């Protein structure tokens, strides 16, 4: 009986240890290599690295803001209304989460490429092309990362009892005021989690960007693309890839921790 | 202050239908869960739209399906309180109450909130967050919030059902006091018969989406419109019988071999001799008499088959020894001991004519 | 720490990148080859196994730069066929191979979508608004492109303004030559710099734009056996590639003689 419990605990401890080891080792490897290589800091300050970091921060932030603006109403409708095709809409939102980002890249090409479904008429009418532009980077990130926000927002809205909105409306609050002052604050922690997920996913987006937006420093070369290129290049090579990876990890960690702190400070129990 | 309500719609498997009107009274909507009580409140608050209906409050038309009128909930001036209260957890008590005010920051708002805090015995709790309040305090905050705007009617959906019985007693008293002070009509949903009896001026009995009976509390309790209403309102004795004679507002029945005079009953003229009927008599109106006189009418001999004590009252199952039906009786502890009722003892039981109510038998009576 | 990290990464590379993590026995020959060699080497591999049935050839096709990094990280390669000498040098500098031999050459080519009229002659790549795609400078075909542009300038055939205009039109630096070709095939780019071999296998959707003689550079493809003591299979494979049979296959795929 007691020995069985000890065996159980030992198994759990071993599993936890194995998982932790597997989780920590790759990062330990990164840090060890970076520390060993005297050029790491210099590489981090290089124009390639700074350009990529700036572009990544800007595009992922824009993509996240767009995901919030476009995704919140969608999430609200799916969470609160019953309509024909609701489950289909739900499934469509999950699609980019399940598919590899390269599929999203191909899909974007077929839709917004110069020979694409809407890309061709848009170029004919307005003379605008999306490919190889920063806009294309944002589009790729929005398609791949946006669903993470929408999914979290749906869960957030569904977690709030409709009673709150009903009562608010009988208290004289219109739909917008009810949404702003009641539903948003109550769904807040889910929404913030969704924003973090979306933002970090956008920061890490590689496949769709590479396929749809291409790769040019300062225009479309985000951190993941720069890391890939550094890895393949003679000048930067693996040390460059390591330096850029460490930068990305550091920035992501700082923002994640900052957001956690903000979320925790204003958390209230229900 | 007055309102009228009339609405019908499909609701899941059955059809919702209700129509009633009242002045500044406390109307208790009573029935099992899913009977249509909460739907009535939501229709009144404008949170649901009926297929056909007309709802009016103090002369204002809130809903009129033929005129295509549907006033939106924010403009209805109804104070709606749900069972879970839905106090906004991210706002303090003051902010919760002020939520309903147009200008939430001004001096007028401050005064209004102060007044409501005082009215509901919540002085000093304005800055507290809802989660730090007791159950009873939360109830009072919800009521204060519902009253804050220019509320013309209170819609209370089982507001006390999540509380301890002791707290409920106090809050019921508080509600009655509020109603007297404010003079507002109140629609109060409950499935607790005692609560319904205590609070109601008028009673609306709901079952499977339909309003079965609406009237003054005592009328509904004493003269249920159907055996179903009688069952729902806790009438313990429903005795099938047959009309022998109808005379001057009184009816003579034959029930299980016993002759029973009933009435006076206003609708006695609707019955004819030979008709199958159901006689209803509440358990607490069944009389035990010491002198075993065997009258021809309204009396029978019965043995005490079961005697359960609930402290203040005893519920007793009686088995007829001769003619007449088996009965359930309720008797207070004091007369119980004075009479010396014991299991197995035989008593002469009287069913007073004025306490027996006669209804037409229903094919589907349950 | 370093030992653990190195071991772990080596295992990961082997599992993830070679596709089939088999024990290195005498019968197996693992060839790391530039992606531009994909079709030709698959054909050569089949011919090689036919004449040398004791061997089984496994390929890992990727950008030469990627392969060089993997080999230096101890990936289990027996042979490395690079699309340029620079990436071969990366492996040589790390002391991971002996003397390489140039086995074939690949010529730079300019491709445009067949149905596009933006780029019809070479000078159109400097026209304002044209979308030009090349491979990144560290990719052999990208390096070839940059060398060709330099050659145009030093030989006086085109001026600096032409080069600046082309640079301004450069919309993307792809990580491999197939990506450049796909851009052109999809019509996303108005023109792209690829290898003659890629043009040879591309369909009707792309057409070749003639380049000035000064820009028609080719890159040498060196091949080498990995390690201090090459396996017999590695040596046999390299010999086969350099033989008449191997060269015939390469020529049929658009490569030029070394």
φ, ψ of residue B19 to 5 degrees: the values are: -150, 125
CB A158 within 8 A of CB A79: yes
- CA-nearest residue to A169 within chain B is B74
CA of A28 to nearest chain C CA: how many angstroms apart? Answer: 8
φ, ψ of residue B255 to 5 degrees: the values are: -130, 115
φ, ψ of residue B340 to 5 degrees: the values are: 75, 45
Q: What pLDDT shows up at residue A147? A: 96
Q: What pLDDT shows up at residue A1? A: 58
Spatial distance between the Cα atoms of B102 and B108, rounded to a whole number of angstroms: 10
pLDDT band at A266 (very low <50, low <70, confident <90, very high): low
CB B239 within 8 A of CB B281: yes
Q: Which residue has the tokens 């974007």?
A: A108
CB C91 within 8 A of CB C203: no
pLDDT tens digits for range B27-46: 999 999 889 999 999 999 99
Asked whether the predicted pLDDT for residue A175 surpasses 70, the reply is yes
Q: Does C202 touch chain A (CB under 8 A)?
A: no
Spatial distance between the Cα atoms of B288 and B295, rounded to a whole number of angstroms: 14
pLDDT tens digits for range C217-227: 998 999 999 98
Provide, rounded to the nearest whole percent, the portion of chain B with pLDDT above 70.
98
- Name the nearest CA neighbour of B63 among B52, A174, B38, B41: B52
Minimum-distance CB partner of C175 among A26, A219, A232: A232
- Name the nearest CA neighbour of B240 among B257, B219, B222: B257
Query: How much is the average pLDDT of C4-8?
Result: 47
| Least-confidence region, from A141-145, A172-176, A263-267, B174-178 | A263-267
**Interchain contact, C138 vs A233, CB within 8 Å:** yes
State pTM to two decimals.
0.78
Q: Which residue has the tokens 């809407």?
A: A118
What Cα–Cα distance (Å) separates residue B56 from each residue in B6, B16, B48? 9, 18, 15
Three-state SS at A215 = coil
DSSP class of residue A180 equals I
Q: What contacts B294, CB < 8 A, 6 or more positions away?
A: B301, B348
pLDDT tens digits for range A28-45: 888 888 888 878 888 888
pLDDT band at C201 (very low <50, low <70, confident <90, very high): confident
Mean pLDDT of the residues in chain A: 89
Kindly list the partner chains of chain C, i.e. chains with 3 or more CB atom pairs below 8 Å.
Answer: A
CA of C97 to nearest chain A CA: how many angstroms apart? Answer: 18
Spatial distance between the Cα atoms of B257 and B242, rounded to a whole number of angstroms: 10
- Name the nearest CA neighbour of C40 among C59, C53, C64: C59
Gyration radius from chain C CA atoms: 19
Q: What contacts A72, CB < 8 A, 6 or more positions away?
A: A153, A191
Count CA within 13 A, CB hemisphere, residue A62: 14
Asked whether the predicted pLDDT for residue C253 surpasses 80, the reply is yes
- Chain A positions touching B129 (Cβ under 8 A) are 268
CB B304 within 8 A of CB B343: yes
Q: Could you count the other beta carbons within 10 Å of the beta carbon of residue C141?
A: 29
**Interchain contact, B99 vs A181, CB within 8 Å:** yes
Query: How much is the average pLDDT of B173-190?
Result: 90
φ, ψ of residue B146 to 5 degrees: the values are: -65, -25
How many CB pairs lie under 8 A apart between chains A and C? 86
Three-state SS at B310 = coil
Helix (H) or strand (E) holding B252: strand B250-255
Q: Does C137 touch chain A (CB under 8 A)?
A: yes
Spatial distance between the Cα atoms of B319 and B344, rounded to a whole number of angstroms: 10
CA of C173 to nearest chain A CA: how many angstroms apart? Answer: 5
Spatial distance between the Cα atoms of B250 and B234, rounded to a whole number of angstroms: 24
Q: What pLDDT shows up at residue A259? A: 77
Distance between alpha carbon C132 and the CA centroid of its chain, in Å? 20
Longest dimension (CA), chain C: 59
- Chain A positions touching B99 (Cβ under 8 A) are 168, 171, 173, 181
φ, ψ of residue C225 to 5 degrees: the values are: -90, 140
The more confident residue out of A35 and B52 is B52
How many angstroms separate the first and last alpha carbons of chain A?
41
The more confident residue out of C18 and C110 is C110
Q: Could you count the other beta carbons within 10 Å of the beta carbon of residue B76?
A: 26
Gyration radius from chain A CA atoms: 22
The more confident residue out of B200 and B14 is B200
Spatial distance between the Cα atoms of A136 and B203, rounded to a whole number of angstroms: 66
Q: What pLDDT shows up at residue C13? A: 47
- Token duo for residue C12: 């990961």
- List domains and CATH numbers for chain C: 22-105+220-252 (3.40.190.10), 106-218 (3.40.190.10)
Q: For residue A141, with 0-12 CB atoms within 10 Å meaning exposed, 13-18 middle and 19 or more buried, which class applies?
A: buried
Q: Could you count the other beta carbons within 10 Å of the beta carbon of residue C127?
A: 15
Helices then strands, counting H and E runs in chain C, come out as 10, 9
CA of B159 to nearest chain A CA: how many angstroms apart? Answer: 13
Asked whether the predicted pLDDT for residue A265 surpasses 60, the reply is no
- Token duo for residue A27: 């990062």
Asked whether the predicted pLDDT for residue B216 surpasses 80, the reply is yes
CB B197 within 8 A of CB B221: yes
Longest dimension (CA), chain A: 78
Spatial distance between the Cα atoms of C199 and C213, rounded to a whole number of angstroms: 18
Find out whether the peptide bond into A68 is cis, omega within 30 degrees of 0: no
Q: What pLDDT shows up at residue A148? A: 95
Helix (H) or strand (E) holding C16: helix C2-17
CB B135 within 8 A of CB B167: yes
- Residues of A with a Cβ under 8 Å from any B Cβ are 161, 163-164, 166-174, 181-182, 185-186, 268-270
DSSP class of residue A183 equals I
- Chain B positions touching A174 (Cβ under 8 A) are 74
**Interchain contact, B86 vs A164, CB within 8 Å:** yes
pLDDT tens digits for range C63-80: 888 899 899 988 899 999
CB C26 within 8 A of CB C233: yes
CB B339 within 8 A of CB B333: no
- CA-nearest residue to B47 within chain A is A166
Spatial distance between the Cα atoms of A21 and A19, rounded to a whole number of angstroms: 5
What part of C 37-96 touches A (C-beta under 8 Å)?
63, 65-66, 69, 73, 86-87, 90
What part of B 38-97 touches A (C-beta under 8 Å)?
42, 45-47, 72-76, 78-82, 84, 86, 88-90
Spatial distance between the Cα atoms of A79 and A193, rounded to a whole number of angstroms: 17
Asked whether the predicted pLDDT for residue B277 surpasses 70, the reply is yes
CB B151 within 8 A of CB B78: yes
Asked whether the predicted pLDDT for residue C5 surpasses 50, the reply is no
Query: How much is the average pLDDT of B353-357?
Result: 90
- Chain A positions touching B131 (Cβ under 8 A) are 268-270
**Interchain contact, A233 vs C136, CB within 8 Å:** yes
Spatial distance between the Cα atoms of C184 and B28, rounded to a whole number of angstroms: 77
Q: What pLDDT shows up at residue C36? A: 82
Longest dimension (CA), chain B: 77
CB C153 within 8 A of CB C160: yes
Helix (H) or strand (E) holding C62: strand C56-62
What Cα–Cα distance (Å) separates residue B170 from each residue in B90, B117, B136, B139, B164? 28, 17, 9, 11, 10
Q: What contacts C144, CB < 8 A, 6 or more positions away?
A: C84, C108, C193, C217, C218, C219
Distance between alpha carbon B176 and the CA centroid of its chain, in Å? 15
What Cα–Cα distance (Å) separates residue C76 from each residue in A8, A25, C10, C15, C87? 40, 22, 9, 10, 18
Structural domain spans, chain A:
1-36, 47-269
**Interchain contact, A232 vs C138, CB within 8 Å:** yes
- Token duo for residue B334: 């004091």
**Interchain contact, A270 vs B131, CB within 8 Å:** yes
At the second CATH level, the architecture of A47-269 is Orthogonal Bundle (1.10)
**Interchain contact, A166 vs B90, CB within 8 Å:** no
The more confident residue out of A114 and C10 is A114
**Interchain contact, A171 vs B47, CB within 8 Å:** no
Q: What contacts B301, CB < 8 A, 6 or more positions away?
A: B292, B294, B320, B321, B322, B324, B346, B347, B348, B349
Q: What pLDDT shows up at residue A2? A: 65
Query: How much is the average pLDDT of A4-11?
Result: 87
CB C119 within 8 A of CB C130: yes
3-state secondary structure B334-357: HHHHHHCCCCCCEEEEECCHHHCE
Q: Does B99 touch chain A (CB under 8 A)?
A: yes
**Interchain contact, A214 vs C4, CB within 8 Å:** no
Helix (H) or strand (E) holding C47: helix C38-51
Spatial distance between the Cα atoms of A117 and A222, rounded to a whole number of angstroms: 26
- CA-nearest residue to A162 within chain B is B86
Asked whether the predicted pLDDT for residue C211 surpasses 70, the reply is yes
What angle is formed at CA C187 by the lines to CA C184 and CA C189, rounded to 5 degrees? 60
Q: Could you count the other beta carbons within 10 Å of the beta carbon of residue C204?
A: 7
Spatial distance between the Cα atoms of B194 and B197, rounded to a whole number of angstroms: 5
Residue ranges of alpha helices (H) inside B211-364 are 217-222, 227-232, 333-339
Q: Does B105 touch chain A (CB under 8 A)?
A: no
């Amino acid at each position: 009986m007691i020995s069985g419990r000890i065996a159980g605990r030992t198994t759990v401890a071993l599993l936890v240890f194995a998982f932790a080891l597997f989780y920590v080792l790759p990062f330990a490897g990164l840090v060890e290599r970076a520390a060993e290589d005297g050029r790491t800091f210099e590489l981090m300050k290089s124009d390639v690295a700074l350009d990529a970091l700036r572009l990544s921060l800007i595009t992922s932030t824009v993509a996240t803001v767009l995901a919030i603006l476009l995704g919140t109403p969608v999430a609200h409708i799916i969470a609160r209304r019953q309509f024909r095709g609701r489950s289909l809409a739900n499934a469509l939102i999950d699609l980019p989460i399940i598919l590899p980002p390269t599929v999203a890249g191909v899909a974007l090409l077929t839709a917004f490429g110069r020979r694409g479904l809407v890309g061709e008429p848009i170029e004919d009418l307005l003379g605008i092309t999306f490919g190889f532009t920063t806009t294309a980077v944002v589009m790729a990130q929005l398609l791949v990362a946006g669903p993470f926000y929408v999914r979290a927002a749906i869960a957030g809205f569904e977690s709030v009892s409709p009673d709150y909105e009903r009562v608010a409306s009988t208290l004289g609050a219109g739909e917008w005021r009810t949404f702003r002052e009641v539903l948003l604050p109550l769904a807040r922690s889910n929404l913030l989690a969704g924003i973090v997920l979306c933002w970090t996913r956008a920061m890490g987006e590689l496949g769709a960007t590479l396929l749809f937006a291409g790769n040019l420093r300062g225009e479309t070369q985000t951190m993941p693309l720069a890391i890939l290129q550094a890895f393949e290049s003679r000048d930067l090579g693996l040390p460059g890839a390591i330096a850029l990876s460490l930068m990305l990890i550091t920035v992501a960690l700082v923002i994640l921790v900052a957001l956690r702190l903000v979320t925790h400070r204003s958390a209230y129990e229900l | 202050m007055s309102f009228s309500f009339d609405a019908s719609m499909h609701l899941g498997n059955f059809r919702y239908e209700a129509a009633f009107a009242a002045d500044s009274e406390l109307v208790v909507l009573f029935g099992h869960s899913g009977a249509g009580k909460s739907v009535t409140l939501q229709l009144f608050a404008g949170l649901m739209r009926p297929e056909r209906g007309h709802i009016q409050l103090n002369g204002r038309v809130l809903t009129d399906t033929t005129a295509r009128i549907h006033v939106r909930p924010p403009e209805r001036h109804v104070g709606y309180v749900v069972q879970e209260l839905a106090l906004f957890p991210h706002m303090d008590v003051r902010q919760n109450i002020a939520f309903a005010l147009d200008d939430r920051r001004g001096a007028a708002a401050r005064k209004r909130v102060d007044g409501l805090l005082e009215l509901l015995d919540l002085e000093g709790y304005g800055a507290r967050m809802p989660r730090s309040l007791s159950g009873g305090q939360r109830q009072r905050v919800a009521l204060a919030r519902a009253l804050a705007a220019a509320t013309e009617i209170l819609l209370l959906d089982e507001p006390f059902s999540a509380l301890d019985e002791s707290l409920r007693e106090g809050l019921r008293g508080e509600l009655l006091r509020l109603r007297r002070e404010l003079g507002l009509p109140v629609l109060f949903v409950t499935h607790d018969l005692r609560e319904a009896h205590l609070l109601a001026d008028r009673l609306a009995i709901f079952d499977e989406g339909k309003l079965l009976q609406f009237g003054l509390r005592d009328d509904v309790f004493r003269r249920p419109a159907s055996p179903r209403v009688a069952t729902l309102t806790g009438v313990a004795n429903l005795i099938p019988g047959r009309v022998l004679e109808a005379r001057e507002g009184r009816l003579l029945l034959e029930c299980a071999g016993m002759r029973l005079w009933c009435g006076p009953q206003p609708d006695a003229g609707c019955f004819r001799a030979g008709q199958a009927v159901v006689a209803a008599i509440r358990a607490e109106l069944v009389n035990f008499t010491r002198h075993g006189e065997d009258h021809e009418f309204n009396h029978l001999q019965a043995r005490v088959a079961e005697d359960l004590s609930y402290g203040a009252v005893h519920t007793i199952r009686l088995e007829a020894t001769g003619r007449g039906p088996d009965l359930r009786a309720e008797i207070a502890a004091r007369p119980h001991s004075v009479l010396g009722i014991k299991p197995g003892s035989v008593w002469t039981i009287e069913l007073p004519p004025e306490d027996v109510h006669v209804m037409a038998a229903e094919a589907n009576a349950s | 720490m370093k030992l653990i990290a190195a071991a772990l990464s080596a295992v990961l590379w082997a599992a993830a990148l070679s596709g089939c993590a088999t024990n290195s026995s005498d019968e197996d020959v693992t060839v790391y080859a530039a992606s531009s060699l994909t079709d030709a080497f698959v054909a050569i591999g089949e011919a090689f196994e036919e004449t040398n049935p004791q061997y089984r050839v496994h390929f890992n096709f990727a950008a030469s730069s990627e392969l060089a990094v993997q080999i230096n990280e101890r990936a289990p390669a027996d042979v490395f066929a690079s699309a340029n000498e620079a990436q071969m040098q990366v492996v040589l500098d790390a002391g991971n191979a002996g003397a390489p031999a140039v086995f074939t050459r690949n010529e730079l080519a300019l491709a445009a979508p067949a149905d596009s009229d933006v780029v019809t002659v070479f000078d159109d790549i400097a026209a304002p608004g044209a979308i030009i795609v090349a491979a990144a400078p560290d990719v052999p075909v990208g390096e070839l492109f940059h060398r060709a542009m330099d050659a145009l300038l030093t030989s006086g055939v085109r001026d600096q303004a032409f080069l600046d205009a082309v640079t301004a039109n450069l919309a993307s630096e792809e990580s491999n030559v197939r990506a450049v070709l796909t851009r052109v095939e999809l019509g996303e780019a108005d023109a792209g710099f690829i290898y003659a071999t890629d043009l040879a296998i591309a369909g009707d959707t792309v057409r070749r734009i003639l380049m000035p003689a000064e820009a028609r550079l080719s890159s040498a493809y060196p091949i080498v056996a990995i390690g201090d003591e090459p396996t017999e299979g590695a040596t046999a494979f390299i010999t086969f590639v350099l033989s008449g049979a191997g060269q015939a296959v390469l020529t049929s795929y658009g490569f030029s003689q070394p």
